[in-house]
Amino acid sequence: MNKAKIKIDKDFVIGQIDNRIYSSFVEHMGSCVYNGIYHPGHVLSDEQGFRKDVIELVKEIDVPMVRYPGGNFVSGYNWEDGVGPKKDRPVRINTSFRGIETNEFGTDEFVSWAKKANTQVMMAVNLGTRGMEDARNLLEYCNKPSGTYWSDLRIKHGSKEAYDIKVWCLGNEMDGPWQMGHKTPYEYGRLACETARLMKFADPSIELVVCGSSGPGMATFGEWEAEVLDQSFDLVEYIAPHQYLSKTNNKNDTKTFMASPTTTDEFINKTIAVCDYVAAKKKSAKKINLSFDEWNVWFQGGDAVEKEKRWHYSAEDAVVAGGMLLSLLRRADRVKIACQAQLVNLLGPIFTQAGDMNGAAWRQAMFYPYMHASRYGRGTALRTVVTCDKYDCELYCDVPVIDSMAVETQNGVTLFVINRSEEQVAVECQFGGYACGPKPQHISLWDTNKFAINTFENPDRVVPKNQTDMMCEGNTISAKLHPLSWNVIRI
């Protein structure tokens, strides 16, 4: 059996974790909205058409904020189409995903849904086919209490109280040639700057997120961040990198797939480096932080929307998604917002029986690392020191078999550990400066079949289990980690 050692110490402080690092994302893509969070006529939907079972699962994760309405979708979206009486709303082509958008669900509905799900709204504006005035009008509609055309229109539509949305995204993935209104770094930087200026004239209390690179492999990565921030630095608080890890790109090689979150660490660190370069260039003490507002494991075998039935996350996928969560926590000093994409169905930790008026909602395998991190990972991020075996694979060298992060919480310490190996590992965890307490807990998520998934017929195939073979002596805990497993050790 392989062996490993993890050292945690209360002085290994990285920084305070912003709870918004556990946020998510809802887009008009696939059945995330329609037949996902919104399904009028379903036996479990409320009077507004919101799936009550989905809302309860969102509450179970304790999602602090949800980004809306995109994503690629927002770059061709007229927000005015999704407010007011539903009978008057126009039907449009969903040019992002080659479908039809009825606009039955829009801003008013999403804000109402978010309140029921106990989450905040992160709103994106269209800087693809539209621009700064439309963004300002949407902000006025949402945040101005009353007394102006757009705020009074919201009141007319039935919402007397302002929505008071505090975080706004200035477009989406504008570096991508697939994006409607794709721009050069200079073109986007100038537009983002002037849009930010106008929006903050309207509401100085908001925080703004400027588009970063759509992935570390983009040809303009680095150059994009430098130019965009050079233009918009004084008016924005965050830059948004995006990344999806794909087993298809990694040729279904488990060792390579398990190692792929190491690229997330590198992507984050390089993005921060460019942010600090621009600050140094401007001789400014201001820190631009990261809103990593799209991340996940991505199935890339064909048209994603048409093959949504194949978007069931396996036990193996869940471990890799957990690895991305650890990467985010490792730079909690600068990653302040992150959105797992998406929340329901396509790419989601929550799945529904689409089209079935009596169908259930269930938790995918990756639901559990996300839930564990959100519920048990709020507090102060602590660096861990790991001694373990390493391996080489097709794309990476010297990959540690064990990845880990610790969080000091109000109730003690949580240690998140991933075993990337297909063999069991005996791990010794030393908690410096802490007492293990009377009832330490070890939760493990794994399966004897790494490709096992949760389905409508068998929703509990891949679920976390409490482990009973853990030993505690002083400030040291010894535990056995299952192959390809996500683990939570709490003291």
Q: What is 346-406 written as a DSSP string?
A: TT-SEEE-TT-TT--EEE-TTHHHHHHHHHH--SEEEEEEEE--EE--SS-SSEESEEEEE
Q: Where are the alpha helices (DSSP H) in 144-294?
A: 149-156, 185-202, 223-232, 254-259, 261-281
- Residue 309, pLDDT score: 52
161 is catalytic: no
Superfamily of domain 2-9+382-490: Golgi alpha-mannosidase II (2.60.40.1180)
173 is catalytic: yes
Give domain limits for the chain: 2-9+382-490, 18-376
- Residue 1, pLDDT score: 80
Catalytic residue among 27, 140, 227, 294: 294
Q: Cis omega (within 30 of 0) on the bond before 71? A: yes
CA distance 324 to 341: 12
One fold for 2-9+382-490 and 18-376: no
- Residue 302, pLDDT score: 43
Architecture of domain 18-376: Alpha-Beta Barrel (3.20)
Average pLDDT across each block of 10 residues of the chain; the chain has 491 residues. List them in order: 95 98 96 96 97 98 98 97 97 90 98 98 98 98 98 98 98 97 98 98 98 98 98 98 81 88 98 98 98 88 48 92 98 98 94 88 97 98 98 94 97 97 97 88 97 94 95 93 98 94
Query: Residues in the chain, how many?
Result: 491
Helix (H) or strand (E) holding 15: strand 2-16
- Residue 355, pLDDT score: 76
Catalytic residue among 101, 109, 173, 237: 173
- Residue 304, pLDDT score: 43
